[in-house]
Structure 1
């Protein structure tokens, strides 16, 4: 039974050692351990605060990024609309210019046709005048006493003349 029940000296020395150990630990080890635990708690709290701030910053940046994307889309749509308007106006101007150029060419062609028509009429008049002079010359050269012979000659000369 001696092995199971401790003696009074063993209990005394164990208690004394335990009290000394507690005093030594409280004087030298307890404060640094508590300080280390407090520092660790503070660093964990700071890390959590920093993570929360980073989360808020990320959220703010996401909102800002969404705003920028929306603004970029609006700007893109505006630029596309301006490009379409510009394209339409250029096409319209090209059509108007082509129409004006066509009208100018038609007017020039009409003018040219009228000039050629007037030149042809002048040529016909000159030919008619020349033919009239030739007929008159031939009539005057022949000295006819009879009017019937003059009419026959004029008729014969008119048959020779081909009108264009």
Structure 2
């Protein structure tokens, strides 16, 4: 170390210091500034990219929430449509059942009226036949002029056996 101090040259030191300062000045002006500027630009680019990613993430969350909301609304609408369709189906079945019951009742009433009408017609025909038979019997009884009641009864019974009812 002593040898360094004894051989120390102030001129050489001055020129080396001056070259170092000039070199630092040149590096600062032409190298450090562009390097720092590019580092700052890169840092800002990274910050912008992070902000863009964050905003994209938030937008995706919002879109996902909107999609879930739309999906929920679509499910609710589907359920309401299905419920309405079931109600319409039940109403149609009920209406058809009521209409069929009304038609069946109408047919039954018409059949009962037809039966009643035919029954009345049959009774009227039977009454007419009985009246005709009674008149025929009376005519035959009068024609014979039988004195005996027993002979009259035999005659009436015989005539009744010969008569065919429709």
CA distance in 1, matches of 2:43, 2:165: 125
For 1:80-105, what per-residue CA distance to the aligned partner results, in whole angstroms no more than 9, with x for missing partners? 22222222222222222222122111
TM-score (norm 2): 0.74
Residue in 2 aligned with 1:146? 146
CA distance in 1, matches of 2:69, 2:52: 25
CA distance in 2, matches of 1:87, 1:14: 103
Residue in 1 aligned with 2:4? none
Deviation at 1:48, TM superposition (A): 0.5
SS at the partner of 2:58?
helix
Residue in 2 aligned with 1:3? none
Residue in 2 aligned with 1:160? 162
Residue in 2 aligned with 1:32? 34
CA distance in 2, matches of 1:132, 1:109: 34
Larger mean CA deviation between 131-140 and 58-67 belongs to 131-140
CA distance in 1, matches of 2:132, 2:146: 25
Number of aligned residue pairs: give it.
Answer: 160
Deviation at 1:38, TM superposition (A): 1.4
CA distance in 2, matches of 1:133, 1:10: 177
Larger mean CA deviation between 126-135 and 111-120 belongs to 126-135
SS at the partner of 1:146?
coil
SS at the partner of 2:164?
coil
Deviation at 1:152, TM superposition (A): 4.4
User: What root-mean-square deviation, in Å, do the aligned CA atoms of Structure 1 and Structure 2 show?
Assistant: 3.2
Gaps of 5+ in 1: 1-6
Q: Are the structure 2 counterparts of residues 44 and 145 from structure 1 closer, same or farther at C-alpha, using a change threshold of 3 Å?
A: closer
CA distance in 2, matches of 1:92, 1:156: 64
Residue in 2 aligned with 1:117? 119
Larger mean CA deviation between 147-156 and 73-82 belongs to 147-156
